[in-house]
Amino acid sequence: MMSTLRSSFSARQVRCFSAILEKTCVLNPPEHHTIEDNWSMAKPYESIPGPSAFNMIRSFMPGGRFSSLQFSEVSRALSAEYGPIFKIKGAFGRKDVIVVVDPKDFETVFRTEGSFPRRNGFECLTYYRKHYRKNLYAASLGLMSEQGQGWYDLRHQVNGVMMKPQSARRYISVIDEVSSDFVKKLHDLRDLNLETPGNFFFHLNIWALESIAHITMNMRLGLLNETNRDKNIDQLMANTKTFLQLLNELDIRPSVWKLYSTRKFKQFVQVNDEIHDVLEKLVEKGLKNLKENTDKRAKSSQEKCVLERLSEINRDVAIIMAFDSLLGGVDTTSSAVFNLLYNLATNQAKQDILREELLKILPEKDTPLTKENMSNMPYLRACVKEALRVTPVTIGNIRSTGRNIVLQGYQIPKETDILMHTQVVHLDEKYYSDSKSFHPERWLRSEDKRENYNPFTFLPFGFGSRICVGRRFAELEIECLVARMVRKYHLEWNHPPPKIRFMAINMPHGDLKLRLRETLA
């Protein structure tokens, strides 16, 4: 397969690209003899450069050179010191992690990962599910923690419900309903300067949870109603932040939780217990609502929700996927939406182009979003992609190698954990010209543009059979809300750039005040 492709894709080509590339990788794997020849000539694994385990631990301790840095900053510093590949040695029961920042290496890892791609990384979550909630996760540990045949069987069951583009498009009216209600709510939340409250990100969390619940369980939770909202939901939002922060501290930074139960691990267990208590009640409510309305829904044209469709395949799987959707789809989608709104607010010319596109398909502010009009939003989709590049939610992808391979001239044995740090690549001028600028046009088809584009430089949802299972729904949620926001408001940002905190994902932090000035048309 060619290692580079034209950057000028049509909208349909962009949507289909990952699927095409995946098939190509399966049909044209690297030749066995080529890998063996390269292996015999490569430098030994032990010679991969990198800091010692002691130096890494010391660097993360209070006062150490990495103690106050975000993970992307740590990776940049180590890459500058050691080059495009380096080893973070395992300690306290952990395996080594090899970090690479070359898209050619990303391609090699993905093309050799095998039928059961292994993604390690959140071991404390896996331990919690195996030992503290084994009754709930008896059927499966969920897509985040399951591996091997168990992962494959679960993924096979949910793909038809969650991964097909037509499956997600069924929920456009559902997602648009929540987004429209949220935009109306923002109107009243603005202060005298027409700015959102400083806790705007919390409100985005509420919107995301309401959307996911409506998609998965066909049920409005009423979270956008400030007066009647269950106070447990506010605590749930706080707990998910703590959950992500502890994932970072226990599984990414040095930690001895595998050797003995540390204070932070005990906190992790407590936070997970509290999250599960709230989510169990929501899922129970969803199942009850599903049972009560089955006959009513059958007599109408209402689409089956994700929970119902999965329940018809396997009830236990349906419950686990509802849990993971409610837990994993809030902060990620909220961060992606905020980043896009911020980039549009600080690039008024791009925002104006997007508004012109929206005016054609949404002549009135309350014109419904439909399958038909959402199929003609190339600039909106280009804006989504560009925001995910300039301000990514994830730092990259991690996989365990499916066989012996060679990266940067070094032997990498089978089952070695590889972190493919795409965030570094996103801002590298070698791959993206004017890389720090928000330039959605780079993703559009243009007759006079012939830039080379390596598809492995941009993988915001992962790649291959282990790509994010909620990708289709997340993209629709982002597109619907941003379309509603830009159609109704001129977005402005009158403050210093928002701070970003790495908490297993990149998340905006602090006061986030977006000025919303109503459009005239």
Tokens of 305: 């929700």
Question: Which pLDDT score, from 0 to 100, does residue 512 have?
Answer: 96
Alpha carbon separation from 88 to 91, 256, 282, 418 (Å, rounded): 9, 16, 40, 10
Sign of CA dihedral 35, 41, 44, 47: negative
- Measured over all CA atoms, what is the biggest interatomic distance in the chain, rounded to whole angstroms? 69
Alpha carbon separation from 270 to 265, 275, 276, 281 (Å, rounded): 9, 9, 10, 17
d(CA 17, CA 128): 37
Question: Which pLDDT score, from 0 to 100, does residue 254 have?
Answer: 86
d(CA 501, CA 507): 5
Q: Which amino acid is at 49?
A: P
Question: Which pLDDT score, from 0 to 100, does residue 156 have?
Answer: 92
For the cut 70, the answer to whether the pLDDT of residue 298 exceeds it is no
User: Inter-axis angle of helices 231-251 and 123-131, to 10 degrees?
Assistant: 120
Q: Is 506 helix (H, G, I), strand (E, B) or coil?
A: strand
Q: Sorting pLDDT into bands at 50, 70 and 90, what band is 241?
A: very high
d(CA 388, CA 433): 16
- pLDDT (tens digit, 9 = 90+) per residue, 143-189? 999 999 999 999 999 998 898 888 888 899 999 999 999 999 999 99
41-57: average pLDDT: 93
For the cut 80, the answer to whether the pLDDT of residue 312 exceeds it is yes
92-102: average pLDDT: 93
pTM of the model: 0.89
d(CA 395, CA 247): 14
Of 17-21, 192-196, 459-463, 506-510, the poorest mean pLDDT is in 17-21
Helices (H) and strands (E) in the chain, counts: 19, 12
Paired residues of 397 in beta bridges: 420
- pLDDT (tens digit, 9 = 90+) per residue, 406-416? 999 999 999 99
The answer to whether the beta carbons of residues 305 and 478 sit under 8 Å apart is no
d(CA 420, CA 456): 10
423-447: average pLDDT: 91
Of 196-200, 254-258, 339-343, the poorest mean pLDDT is in 254-258
The answer to whether the beta carbons of residues 83 and 397 sit under 8 Å apart is no
d(CA 373, CA 375): 5
Alpha carbon separation from 435 to 424, 425, 431, 454 (Å, rounded): 11, 9, 8, 14
Q: Which amino acid is at 146?
A: E
Q: What would the DSSP string read from start to end of 112-174? A: TS-SS-B----HHHHHHHHHTSTTTTSS---TTT--HHHHHHHHHHHHHHHTSHHHHHTTHHH
For the cut 80, the answer to whether the pLDDT of residue 217 exceeds it is yes
For the cut 80, the answer to whether the pLDDT of residue 1 exceeds it is no
